[in-house]
Amino acid sequence: MTEVRIVPSILSADFARLADEVARVVDGGADWMHVDVMDGHFVPNITYGAKVIETMRRVTTLPLDVHLMVERPEDYFESFAGAGASTLTIHTEVSPHLQRQLCRIKELGCLAGAAINPSTPLGAVSEVAGDLDLLLVMTVNPGFGGQSFIEHSVDKVRRARALLDASGSRALLEVDGGIGRDTIQRVWRAGADTFVAGHAVFGARDPGAEIDALRKLCMETA
């Protein structure tokens, strides 16, 4: 059976207690940690940069899944890789030289991911499927946590899985946005294997129990 990765997003964490919040979800069985970087231009919000990645690296040994929602992602590759990022995922919408940028990420020792917004067709990544370590299908419009899942994303995830399989790509298929108990099983059955969950995990009374519940939903057969 395909491995399931539950990836809590620190966008929903209490930053006044960041180390404790991370420890709770790590102890609860998180597979990776997700770090959303926003520049206030590509998306209407501003978050954090290399210093937070450095802090995360000090408080956990888990892979750091860094999602760059920025207009010039290439400006951040070296500093984020140096700060401890494990995966750098960039948006196709701002990456006209996507193949070159993916190769540069790999040269820096990180896994290379490409993200597509809800309105972006899968054709944006069809020519680089073999270069991808991860394909991120956004299931909300990026910029803010706690948004509602876009229902027709399930079909897009299904088509993304078909695209990766047809090209022989070994890339992970990640989903981000509105992932919780009521949505995770549908995108799992559509072919996703890596699930970013912010509010569902950090907002739970028992994050470990929530991570376990999400994982078990993926393991249930249709």
Distance between CA atoms of residues 222 and 219, nearest Å: 9
Distance between CA atoms of residues 172 and 137, nearest Å: 11
Distance between CA atoms of residues 30 and 45, nearest Å: 26
Is-catalytic flag, 36?
Answer: yes
Is-catalytic flag, 176?
Answer: yes
Q: Is the CB of residue 99 less than 8 Å from the CB of residue 127?
A: yes
Q: Is 135 helix (H, G, I), strand (E, B) or coil?
A: strand
Catalytic residue selected from 36, 39, 65, 131: 36
Q: Is the CB of residue 182 less than 8 Å from the CB of residue 148?
A: no
In this structure, the number of other CB atoms found within 10 A of the CB of residue 44 comes to 11
Tokens of 149: 């899942």
Distance between CA atoms of residues 139 and 204, nearest Å: 21
Phi, psi torsion values for 13, nearest 5 degrees: -80, 160
The residue to which tokens 């939903």 are assigned: 217
Catalytic residue selected from 39, 131, 133, 176: 176
Catalytic site residues?
Answer: 36, 176
